[in-house]
Amino acid sequence: MSGSSPVIRLLGAGRRFGSHEALCDLDLTVHAGERVAVLGTSGAGKSTLLALLNGSLEPTTGSMEIFGENPARLPAPRRRLLQRRIGSVSQELALIEQVRVVHNVNAGRLGRWSTARALASLVWPRSLDVVRDALDRVDLGWALHERTERLSGGERQRVAIARLLVQEPELVVADEPVSSLDPVRAAGILGLLGTSPTVSTLVVSLHQPALAREHCTRVVGLRQGRIVLDRPAADVDDADLNDLYTLA
Amino acid sequence: MTLGLDAPPAPPTASAPGRKPVSGRRALLRKLVTLVAVAGLLAWSVHRALPSGSELVNHGGLALLDDLAATALHPSLEADFLGVVLDAMATTLALALLGTAGALVIGLIGGLILSDVAWAGALPWPVRVARLLLRGALVAVRSVHELVWALFFVSVLGLDPLVAVLALALPFGAQSAQVFGETFDAVPDAPLRSLRAAGAKRCSALAYALLPGTAPLLLSYSFYRFECALRSAVVLGVAGVGGLGFELTVSLQSRNWGEVWTLVAALLVLAAAVELWSNRVRSDVAVVTCADWSVGQERSGDEGRSPRGLSRSTRWSLALTVPAIAVAWWWAGLSPAGLTSARTQDLAGRLLGDLWPPALPEGGLRALTGAALDTVTMAVLAMVVAVVITLVAGPWASRPRADRRGPAAWGRWAVWWTARLLLLVLRSIPPTVWAVVALLGLFPGVLPGALALGLYTGGILGRLVAEAWETMNLKPRESLRNAGVPRVVSAVVSVGPPSANHLVTYTLYRFEICVRDTAVVGVVGAAGLGRLLSERLAAFDFPVVTSVLLASLLVSLVVEILGRRLRRALRA
The whole-model pTM stands at: 0.79
Interface residue B322 vs chain A (CB under 8 A):
no
Do residues B520 and B393 lie in contact, with contact meaning Cβ atoms separated by under 8 Å?
no
Q: In the prediction, which pLDDT does A20 show?
A: 87
pLDDT at residue B4, as a whole number: 33
For B490, phi then psi, to 5°, come to -65, -35
A30, A233 Cβ separation under 8 angstroms: no
Sign of torsion over alpha carbons A95, A96, A98, A101: negative
B198 with A110: Cβ contact below 8 A? yes
Chain A residues with CB-CB distance to B215 below 8 A: 98
Q: What is the rounded distance in angstroms from the CA atom of residue B147 to the CA atom of residue B533?
A: 11
The domain B75-333 is placed in CATH, from the list 1.10.3720.10, 1.10.287.130, 2.40.33.20, 3.30.450.20, at 1.10.3720.10
Q: Tens of pLDDT along B332-345?
A: 888 887 778 888 88
Q: Measure Cα distances from A193 to A89, A101, B151, B196 in Å.
A: 11, 20, 66, 22
Closest-CA distance, A140 to chain B, in angstroms, reads 21
pLDDT mean over A211-219: 88
Lowest mean pLDDT among A30-34, B14-18, B216-220, B455-459: B14-18
Closest among B381, B357, B337, B443 to B61, alpha carbons compared: B443
Q: What is the pLDDT of residue A36?
A: 93
Identify the CA nearest to A128 among candidates A107, A106, A98. A106
| Chain A interface includes B212 (CB < 8 A) | yes
pLDDT band at B54 (very low <50, low <70, confident <90, very high): low
| Model pLDDT, residue B403 | 59
Q: Give A-chain residues touching B213 at CB under 8 angstroms.
A: 96-98
Is A75 touching B (CB cutoff 8 A)?
no
CA angle A97, A99, A101 (to 5 degrees): 90
Which chain B residues are Cβ-neighbours of A108 within 8 angstroms?
A: 198
Please give, rounded to a whole number of angstroms, the shortest distance from the CA of B281 to a CA of chain A: 19
Say whether pLDDT at B294 is over 70: no
Contacts of A95 in chain B (CB under 8 A): 191
Task: Indicate the pLDDT class of residue B96, thresholds 50, 70 and 90.
Answer: very high
Which of A92, A96, A111 comes nearest B200 by C-beta? A111
The answer to whether residue A43 scores a pLDDT higher than 60 is yes
Check CB contact under 8 Å for B201 and A55: no
Shortest CA gap A83–chain B (Å): 5
Q: What is the C-alpha to C-alpha distance for residues B397 and B423, in angstroms, rounded to an integer?
A: 8
Are B205 and A110 within 8 A, CB to CB?
A: yes
Interface size, chain A vs chain B, as Cβ–Cβ contacts under 8 Å: 82
In a domain, A4, yes or no: yes
In terms of CA atoms, which chain B residue is nearest residue A55?
B197
pLDDT score of B299:
43
Taking CA–CA distances from B189, the nearest residue in chain A reads A94
**In this complex, do A88 and B198 lie within 8 Å of one another by their Cβ atoms?**
yes
The complex's ipTM works out to: 0.80
Tell whether the model's pLDDT for residue A248 goes beyond 70: no
Check CB contact under 8 Å for A83 and B211.
no
* Predicted confidence (pLDDT) at residue B13 exceeds the cutoff of 70: no
Task: Report the C-alpha gap between B330 and B336 in whole angstroms.
Answer: 12
Which carries the bigger pLDDT value, residue B284 or residue B306? B284
Residues of B in contact with A90 (CB under 8 A): 190, 194
Q: CB-based contact (8 Å) between A84 and chain B?
A: yes
The CATH architecture of the domain made up of B356-572 is: Orthogonal Bundle (1.10)
**Average of pLDDT values for A129-140?**
89
Rounded to a whole number of angstroms, the distance between the first and last alpha carbons of chain A is 36
Query: Within an 8 Å CB–CB cutoff, is residue B304 touching chain A?
Result: no
What is the pLDDT at residue B233? 92
Task: Flag if B212 and A81 touch (Cβ within 8 Å).
Answer: no
Main-chain dihedrals φ then ψ at residue B49, nearest 5 degrees:
-80, -25
Inside any domain, residue A237: yes
- With a cut of 80, say whether residue B120 has pLDDT above it: no
Q: Which of the residue ranges A216-225, B288-297, B509-518 would you say has the lowest mean pLDDT?
A: B288-297
Strand, helix or coil at A39? strand
Check residue B103 and give its pLDDT: 95
Helix axes B528-538, B364-397, angle to 10 degrees: 120
B119-127: long-range contacts, CB 8 A cutoff, minimum separation 24: B120/B189, B120/B192, B120/B193, B120/B196
- Please indicate if any CB of chain B lies within 8 Å of the CB of A81: yes
Q: Is B204 on the interface with A (CB under 8 A)?
A: yes
Query: What's the pLDDT tens digit per position in A89-120?
Result: 877 778 888 888 999 999 888 888 888 888 88
The answer, for B478 touching chain A at a CB cutoff of 8 Å, is no
Q: Is the pLDDT of residue B111 over 70?
A: yes
Tell me the residues of chain A between 155 and 194 that have a Cβ less than 8 Å away from chain B.
Answer: 167
For residue range B471-493, list pLDDT tens digits in order.
777 777 777 778 777 777 877 77
Shortest alpha-carbon distance between residue A96 and chain B (Å) = 6
pLDDT, mean over chain B: 81
Band of residue B6 on the pLDDT scale cut at 50, 70, 90: very low
Report whether pLDDT(B80) > 60.
yes
The closest alpha carbon to B284, from B256, B267, B307, B263, belongs to B307
Among B104-118, B129-143, B496-510, the minimum mean pLDDT is found in B496-510
Provide the chain A residues 191-220 that lie in CB contact (below 8 A) with chain B. none
Nearest to B194 among A81, A84, A90 (CB): A90
* A171: in domain: no
Give the pLDDT of residue B409.
Answer: 77
Domain with CATH 1.10.3720.10 in chain B: 75-333, 356-572
Q: Give contacts of A 41-60 with B, CB under 8 A.
A: 54-56
Q: What is the pLDDT of residue B92?
A: 93
Band of pLDDT at residue B121, cut at 50, 70 and 90: low
Q: With bands split at pLDDT 50, 70 and 90, how would you rate the model's confidence at B90?
A: very high
Contact B198 A95 (CB under 8 A): no
**Domain count within chain A:** 1
A69 has which bridge partners? A66
- Provide the domain limits for residue A4: 1-75+200-248
Q: For B425-440, what is the mean pLDDT?
A: 87
Closest CA to B548 of B325, B375, B395, B431: B375
Residue B306's pLDDT band (cuts 50, 70, 90): very low
**B357 cis-preceded (ω within 30 degrees of 0):** yes
CATH of residue A47: 3.40.50.300
Helix (H, G, I), strand (E, B) or coil at B286: strand
Cβ contact (<8 Å) for A96 and B302?
A: no
Task: Identify the pLDDT of residue B410.
Answer: 82
